[in-house]
Amino acid sequence: MPRVVSLFLPTWSTDRVRRITNGASPSGETPLVLVGRDGKRRVVLAADAAARAAGVRVGMPATKARALVPGLVVQDAELAADAAALERLATWALRYAPVVAADPADGLVIDASGATHLHGGETAMLVAMIERLAGARIGARAAMADTWGAAHALARYVARPAIVIPPGASAAAIMPLPIAALRLPIDMVDSLRRLGFDRISDLMEKPRAPLALRFGPELGRRLDHATGERAEPIDPIRPPDVVEVRRGFAEPIGAPETLARYTGKLVVQLCEALEARGLGARRLDLLFHRTDGYVEAVRIGTAKPVRDIKRLTRLLCDKIETVDPGFGIEIMSLAATLTEPFEAKQGISSLTEETVADISGLIDTLSNRIGGERLYRITPIASDVPERSVGRVAPTAPPTGEGWPQHWPRPSRLFTPPEPIETLALLPDHPPVSFTWRGIRRRVKRADGPERVFGEWWKRDAELIAVRDYFQVEDDAGERFWIFRAGDGEDTATGSQRWFVHGIFA
């Protein structure tokens, strides 16, 4: 089932003006409106959050807005610039899914089918999108549903700031929404309200024929788009410099083996085009244009620039089983939406040279199956606090140059957070005689320590005098644990004086 994201930008025009003027623009607390001509009148075409809170509304005469809000900043609207910037934003959103289009005048539409797992799931994808835009000083709300129409309505009337509708529940979710959520012309919405239609559910309960006779086919078409009864294709945007190859078919195709065969042919053509430009692919989008207007998409990524025909073909064909050909595929297109300069490496030229294992192929296979964010390797971080001395980096990231402490051994497994234990200790500087962990009492047979670890006072004041005393202990069964006391055993200001187990030695 398709999963469509509608990204709503409620203050897009004013956000764009503030960004391009930077320091010369009014502050975020100063109300800002953009005005344009409606016939002979100058009316408000866009208002930021501060202006809306003060009572300014889109369509209000500019003179009335000035009188209503003292200190209101008024600038001329630039509709062409807004549309061009929205197209550029759609190109930026290609990092999330291969099928993205502008939804003028204040949003984007994204077909996220099959791409959400690459970003941590549906909710995580929407949250990350909104947070990135917020960091760029662009306000956004987002909704994910089964159809473009439903997602569009939910993003504008429900999402605060994001909402994900489970598959199959989109039609029911939009029933309580006002009829303006159906993307109908304003005069049609006014006419329907005069007839007593306020909610989408009111329209769904009435026969279609009388409504179509009075309002034309547009009303029924928008209802079908929102409920999924009729397809609403998305025309994806493509950057002008993207490397792309296409293939059309005289007769629609749909068999998986046929799709795989032509996928291989497209990969060959794409690699030839990449080679001519000296580039390698980091991300590929394979689009299947169906006869009913839907676009099925497959996206793969690579750990480093690649022009290997066999590898790219295998990665793409592994995902063909997720493609629903419907009544047939009439066009296939393959685009390298993310490329980097390709550096050729010389092979082994001597029998004495050692081969260096290249695991990038394995990384590509795993990351495209389970998601790139779930694949990582552990790297040392400069910190004496054990839980802060470990970080996650990309599998192919270069070495950081840091190393773990060598003067004291570290356990192979750390608990996050450390687990509390009950201990019996003779003196503050001595290790426990016994401890109870997870309901099992363990007698300490051997111990080594203490290793004192001080807090990182430059990070927070609470660690100014905080210390930990770590011990390596071995119980009667030969199991070795890494335990510590929070504090120096005497002064409560240095810690709670409680004991914890922080790790297990192999």
Greater confidence (371 vs 315) lies with 315
Q: Is 278 helix (H, G, I), strand (E, B) or coil?
A: coil
Greater confidence (475 vs 119) lies with 475
Main-chain phi, psi angles of 63, to 5 degrees: -65, -40
- Residue 121: the pLDDT is 87
Which residue type occupies 199?
R
With a cut of 70, say whether residue 309 has pLDDT above it. Answer: yes
Main-chain phi, psi angles of 154, to 5 degrees: -70, -35
> Which residue, 129, 127, 107, is CA-closest to 234?
107
Tens digits of residue pLDDT in 261-284: 999 999 999 999 999 999 999 999
- Residue 86: the pLDDT is 93
With a cut of 70, say whether residue 452 has pLDDT above it. Answer: yes
> Which residue, 165, 161, 156, is CA-closest to 133?
161
Q: How many other β-carbons are positioned within 10 Å of the β-carbon of residue 456?
A: 14
Q: Is 116 helix (H, G, I), strand (E, B) or coil?
A: helix
Greater confidence (131 vs 364) lies with 131
With a cut of 60, say whether residue 25 has pLDDT above it. Answer: no
33-45 CB burial, b ≥16 within 10 A, e <16? bbbeeeeeebbbb
CA–CA distance, 447 with 468 (Å, rounded to integer): 16
- Residue 342: the pLDDT is 86
CA–CA distance, 263 with 296 (Å, rounded to integer): 14
- Residue 352: the pLDDT is 60
With a cut of 80, say whether residue 427 has pLDDT above it. Answer: no
Q: Is 104 helix (H, G, I), strand (E, B) or coil?
A: coil
- Please state, in angstroms and as integers, the Cα–Cα distance from residue 130 to each residue in 29, 141, 155, 393, following that order: 21, 7, 12, 24
- Residue 101: the pLDDT is 93
- What mean pLDDT is predicted for residues 192-212? 90
- Please state, in angstroms and as integers, the Cα–Cα distance from residue 10 to each residue in 61, 140, 416, following that order: 20, 7, 41
- What mean pLDDT is predicted for residues 144-148? 93
381 half-sphere exposure, CB direction, 13 A CA radius: 12
Give the mean pLDDT of the chain.
88
Q: Which of 161-165, 185-189, 407-411 has the lowest mean pLDDT?
A: 407-411
Q: Which helix (H) or strand (E) holds 433?
A: strand 432-437
Q: In which band, very low, low, confident or very high, does the pLDDT at 22 lie, cut at 50, 70 and 90?
A: low
Which residue type occupies 359?
I
Mark out the alpha helices in 340-482 (DSSP H runs): 360-370
> Which residue, 52, 50, 57, is CA-closest to 29?
50
| Contact assessment for residue 206 and residue 220, using Cβ atoms and an 8 Å cutoff | no
- Residue 268: the pLDDT is 95
Q: In which band, very low, low, confident or very high, does the pLDDT at 483 lie, cut at 50, 70 and 90?
A: very high
Q: Strand 141-145 to strand 162-164: parallel, antiparallel, or no bridges (unpaired)? A: parallel
CA–CA distance, 262 with 240 (Å, rounded to integer): 24
With a cut of 60, say whether residue 23 has pLDDT above it. Answer: no
Tens digits of residue pLDDT in 77-90: 899 999 999 999 99
Tens digits of residue pLDDT in 233-259: 888 888 878 899 999 999 999 999 999
Q: Looking at the DSSP assignment, which residues form a beta bridge with residue 75?
A: 34
| % of the chain residues with pLDDT over 90 | 47
Q: Which of 307-316, 454-463, 467-476, 494-503 has the lowest mean pLDDT?
A: 454-463
Residue with tokens 């203050």: 11
CA–CA distance, 296 with 267 (Å, rounded to integer): 18
With a cut of 90, say whether residue 4 has pLDDT above it. Answer: yes
| Contact assessment for residue 314 and residue 298, using Cβ atoms and an 8 Å cutoff | no
- What mean pLDDT is predicted for residues 199-224? 90
| Contact assessment for residue 298 and residue 286, using Cβ atoms and an 8 Å cutoff | yes
DSSP secondary structure string, 62-76?
Answer: HHHHHHHSTT-EEEE
- Cα-Cα-Cα-Cα torsion 275, 277, 280, 284, nearest 10 degrees, comes to -100
With a cut of 70, say whether residue 26 has pLDDT above it. Answer: no
- Residue 492: the pLDDT is 83
Q: In which band, very low, low, confident or very high, does the pLDDT at 144 lie, cut at 50, 70 and 90?
A: very high
Tens digits of residue pLDDT in 374-395: 888 888 888 888 888 888 888 8
